[in-house]
Amino acid sequence: MSGIRQGKNLLLALALCVCLSACGGSGAPAPAASGAPEGSASPAPEGSASPAPEVSMDLPGKEQPLTLDTENTQADYADFTLVKVSSGNRVESPLGGYYYESDSGKVYVDVVLDAVNTGTAAVSCSEWMTIRAVAPDGTEYTDALYVVESGDGSDLDTWADITPLSAVRFHCAVSVPENAGALKLYLEVNGTEYTCDYTVGETVRSAPTLTVGQTVEKEDFATMVFNGIAYTDDLLPSNTSGSYRHYQVDSASNTYLVVKYDITNLQSSAKDADTFAGIKATYQGKYTYTGFVVVEEEDGAGFSGYEDIAPLTTRHFYYLIEVPKTVTGNEAELTFFFGGQEYLYRGK
């Protein structure tokens, strides 16, 4: 068949030469060969307009912006929304206790997502998405950590398989030098890269501001009333008329920053006191401290760090953060993690 096709092509070429000779050789250049296969559509007549091909902005491989609180969709793969970008020497669970620490001289740029597996099979968290960072001089950083929050924010899991239709809080953290400065982040999801600019040391998030006396509620989880902050070397219970139990700071150069709030458990079973909220304090934008929670006993004569809060029960909570006394004259920025949402409070 190939020999017959070549013979036909030769006859067509000879006929074209004869036709051009008969036209008298006007000097106009011959049209370029189209390269189209047999059976393809003929080129449009001279002077007619050919419609431009349609180009989709969502083709795989096309860069897309990654912005806060905007849902992104990769069909039959994942839906995801950027919650936060921050950097530090730890990727940690928001309720405290579990963390992954960076190497000396490096920090993790932590991209936090709310994501849903919309595929039909479970996928390992280390293979679902990838993160990299590129410096202005072209230096690329690809050493990354992928973890899923579990236990309502009390734990981190690097071995998690995300099952179909499950929703997770997902961390994609890339290790960079602590002095890296401005970076461009690339989050690759199913062949498409989502990008954002980031400067090491910044925190990018949407976090409502708390005020003293404010109530916030997470349906089927809990209600929290924020009662303010105080500094003390010795936390005393409300009932000191007899014997009582208290918390006294060990170091004379330190004091407790006490964060006071009430919790009402809206869940159908009793829950540990330390599963409701996580709090950290930051001073001067760079010194960060965490602590532990205690609950005032129902008779007001002491505190317990191992209390189970019964359904529909309201208790007085105290979050104790040991800080140097030298920072107490500065404004504290508190980050509350409650019901999957971060809240901010600034005050002295």
Kindly state whether residues 159 and 234 are assigned to the same domain: no
**Considering the domain boundaries, does residue 121 fall inside one?**
yes
Kindly state whether residues 247 and 155 are assigned to the same domain: no
The last residue of one of the domains, among 173, 205, 237, is: 205
How high is the pLDDT of residue 162?
Answer: 96
Q: How many domains does the chain have?
A: 2
Widest Cα–Cα separation across the chain: 121
Kindly state whether residues 277 and 146 are assigned to the same domain: no
Kindly state whether residues 175 and 251 are assigned to the same domain: no
Residue 124 is part of a domain; what is its CATH number? Answer: 2.60.40
CA atoms within 13 Å, Cβ hemisphere of 8: 6
Kindly state whether residues 326 and 230 are assigned to the same domain: yes
In which domain, by residue range, is 233 found? 215-347
Kindly state whether residues 229 and 342 are assigned to the same domain: yes
Q: What is the pLDDT of residues 125-156, one digit of tens each?
A: 999 999 999 999 999 999 999 999 987 788 99
Residue 252 is part of a domain; what is its CATH number? Answer: 2.60.40.1240
Residue 101 has pLDDT above 50, yes or no: yes
- CA 99, CA 102: separation in Å to the nearest integer? 10
Kindly state whether residues 195 and 246 are assigned to the same domain: no
**Considering the domain boundaries, does residue 317 fall inside one?**
yes
**Cut 0.95: pTM above it:** no
Number of H helices, E strands in the chain: 2, 30
Kindly state whether residues 201 and 221 are assigned to the same domain: no
Chain-centre distance of CA 258, in angstroms? 29
Kindly state whether residues 277 and 295 are assigned to the same domain: yes
Kindly state whether residues 253 and 183 are assigned to the same domain: no
Kindly state whether residues 130 and 200 are assigned to the same domain: yes
How high is the pLDDT of residue 38?
Answer: 40
- CA 260, CA 274: separation in Å to the nearest integer? 14
- CA 111, CA 99: separation in Å to the nearest integer? 15
Kindly state whether residues 200 and 76 are assigned to the same domain: yes
Q: What is the pLDDT of residues 267-281, one digit of tens each?
A: 999 999 999 999 999
